[in-house]
Amino acid sequence: MGSEMCIRDRNKVARLALQKHSEEFNRKEFRLRTLFDKNSNRFSEYSLSHEGLLLDYSKNFLTPETIALLLDFAEQSQLPAAIAAMFGGEEINTTEERAALHVALRTPAAETNTPEVIETLDKIEKLVAQIHNGTWTGYSGKAITDIVNLGIGGSDLGPAMVCDALSTFSNTKLSVHFVSNLDPSHLQNTLKDMQAETTLFVVASKSFATLETLKNAEAARDWLLRKTDATATAKHFIAMTTNLRAATEFGIEEQNLFPLWDWVGGRFSLWSAIGLPIALAVGMDKFRQLLAGANSMDKHFREAPLQENMPVILALLSFWYREYFNAHSSAVLPYSQRLNLLPSYLQQLCMESLGKSADKQGTPIEHNTGDVIWGTAGTNGQHSYFQLLHQGTEFIPVDFIAAANSDVRGNAEAHQHLLANCFSQSLALMEGKLDADSIHKVVAGNKPSNTLLLEELNPYNLGMLIALYEHKVYALSVLWNINAFDQWGVELGKKLSTKVYAAMSTEADQDNLDESTQGLIEKIKYWKK
Ligand code: F6P
């Protein structure tokens, strides 16, 4: 307790110093551009490289003093010990009393302490081979042509994003589809042109208790059984879950179950059996390259000094803007159509992890925590919301992401334009245009951004990129002294939906609902055909 007080006091002092320092940048006359005028080495001093990944963070409100103060804050927050605790498998998910050991999922076999991970990867590899070589057949003896992943949240967003990002690496004719929404039209649209005899359903649910996934799995099973009998379930359903019993009760055969463990958080699970659709889509070797890339970023996060540590620098920048520049949101803008789903994936990763109001000791928090994350692939956004980034009243830091090499051969010119647009947007955000003939044409500039440049978008580099954001999120949670690995707020809506469902289905139970909800239910009952 004594030492905790001491940490809090030191933390307060470090925060006060940051607050005072930030006033220098928040002055109207301060120009971000002048930081470059004063230092011709700014790019090399404010960029980091790790293998095929470069982080340019020079277009930020940072001076050597800022870095020193932020690093001091990170030390006061015990960030190095927290990083060691995560890799050491300590119970850092305090409210659920478990470790958050997703890094173990990508530790190479020769270094692992978790043989169950290696066994599961081997089991996945066998399944992938059987499906790819056509020895896994459906009820009529035909090879599988379509995989349908039934899952939501972490059991959907990560695998869907990676499959889309790596679609050019696929060397199979297999089509992989993702169904997440409880809205029956999602499953119905997906199954529209599919044949039951060649479709394999993959039920992805850590808990095997998520309403959306269970309802979609039941509907998929009904669709299958309309064409054949119950024995076909064994050939057309597999599951990835910690809840092996519930999956067996659903009718999935024991040999078709792929385990994961409570120390794998849902939004950190694409590296586990939840990533099986990725392995099916791009092949096991590419899936292993994805894991290897993530492992390389793990080593960097674990070993690099704080000032050279990419996830730590990204976390400190987000902390800096959220706390001292009143940034309510930040944008992630991949200049890569293949990374179009990355912002949606990051929304869950960041907002489910960092949307907290109590600290790890259970005290209400007096400072800001997670901001709103949003974005889509560039250049589309330039013709939509970029106007607000340039001339709106919100302060929105941006992460630009681009790949130096295109995976499309034969249109180098278009790719060159894509990169030029990416770089010119970060330049325009920083410099603005002050010498205009009308106030309406003045662009204030002074908007900070990072640029993450990949040598190319391949499985290894994508693994590094995703792990970079995972570790950034953890580092931020340490700076804010919150638990990044629970999501109790989500539970309330789930419980209430059971109550509201009961009220909609019967006359009973309505009285204890508020008038608005009752009114809506009444209208539904009136309108329902
Ligand atoms: O949205 C809440 C949540 O619990 C996420 O954290 C999780 O990724 C998702 O639901 C799906 O959970 P499950 O994999 O258990 O079906």
Band of pLDDT at residue 5, cut at 50, 70 and 90: low
| Ligand 1 site, residue 149, Cβ cutoff 6 A | no
| pLDDT surpasses 60 at 386 | yes
Tell me, yes or no, whether 294 lies in a domain.
no
What are the pLDDT digits (tens) for 151-170?
999 999 999 999 999 999 99
Higher pLDDT, 315 or 505: 315
Tell me, yes or no, whether 95 lies in a domain.
no
DSSP state of 201: E
- Output the pLDDT for position 385: 97
Mean pLDDT of 493-513: 84
| pLDDT surpasses 70 at 101 | yes
- In the reported structure, the alpha carbon of residue 509 is separated from the centroid of ligand 1 by a whole-number distance in angstroms of 28
- In the reported structure, the alpha carbon of residue 93 is separated from the centroid of ligand 1 by a whole-number distance in angstroms of 16
Among 210, 350, 490, 492, residue to substitute to test ligand 1 (most atoms within 8 Å of Cβ): 210
Q: Whose CA is nearest to atom 16 of ligand 1?
A: 205
Reference 426, options 336, 308, 335, 347; nearest CA is 335
Mean pLDDT of 491-496: 89
Question: Phi/psi class of residue 251: alpha, beta or left (left: φ > 0; alpha: ψ in -120 to 50)?
Answer: left
- Output the pLDDT for position 182: 97
- Surface-to-core class of residue 109, CB atoms within 10 Å of its CB (0-12 exposed, 13-18 middle, 19+ buried): exposed
Tell me, yes or no, whether 468 lies in a domain.
yes
Question: Phi/psi class of residue 432: alpha, beta or left (left: φ > 0; alpha: ψ in -120 to 50)?
Answer: left
pTM of the full predicted structure? 0.96
Tell me, yes or no, whether 293 lies in a domain.
no
Sequence letter at residue 284: M
What are the pLDDT digits (tens) for 167-206?
999 988 999 999 999 999 999 999 999 999 999 999 999 9
- Domain total in the chain: 3
The average confidence (pLDDT) of the chain is: 96
- In the reported structure, the alpha carbon of residue 514 is separated from the centroid of ligand 1 by a whole-number distance in angstroms of 28
- In the reported structure, the alpha carbon of residue 361 is separated from the centroid of ligand 1 by a whole-number distance in angstroms of 25
Q: How many residues does the chain have?
A: 529
Q: Strand 175-179 and strand 146-150: pairing? A: parallel
Domain with 358, as residue range(s), is: 2-90+304-479
Q: Whose CA is nearest to atom 9 of ligand 1?
A: 153
- C-alpha distance from residue 502 to each of 210, 287, 492, 499 (Å): 17, 43, 16, 5
Q: Strand 372-374 and strand 449-456: pairing? A: unpaired
What are the pLDDT digits (tens) for 403-462?
999 988 888 999 999 999 999 999 999 999 999 999 999 999 999 999 999 999 999 999
CATH of residue 416's domain is 3.40.50.10490
Per-residue tokens: 214: 């269970």
Residue tagged 């928090």 (tokens):
365
What are the pLDDT digits (tens) for 232-265?
999 999 999 999 999 999 999 999 999 999 999 9
- Output the pLDDT for position 4: 63
Among 149, 206, 243, 470, residue to substitute to test ligand 1 (most atoms within 8 Å of Cβ): 206
Tell me, yes or no, whether 297 lies in a domain.
no
- Output the pLDDT for position 129: 98
Tell me, yes or no, whether 295 lies in a domain.
no
Per-residue tokens: 169: 């690496």
Tell me, yes or no, whether 298 lies in a domain.
no
Mean pLDDT of 85-96: 98
Tell me, yes or no, whether 23 lies in a domain.
yes
CB contact at 8 A, 214 and 150 = no
The residues that bridge with 259 in the sheet, in sequence order, are: 241
CB contact at 8 A, 376 and 331 = no
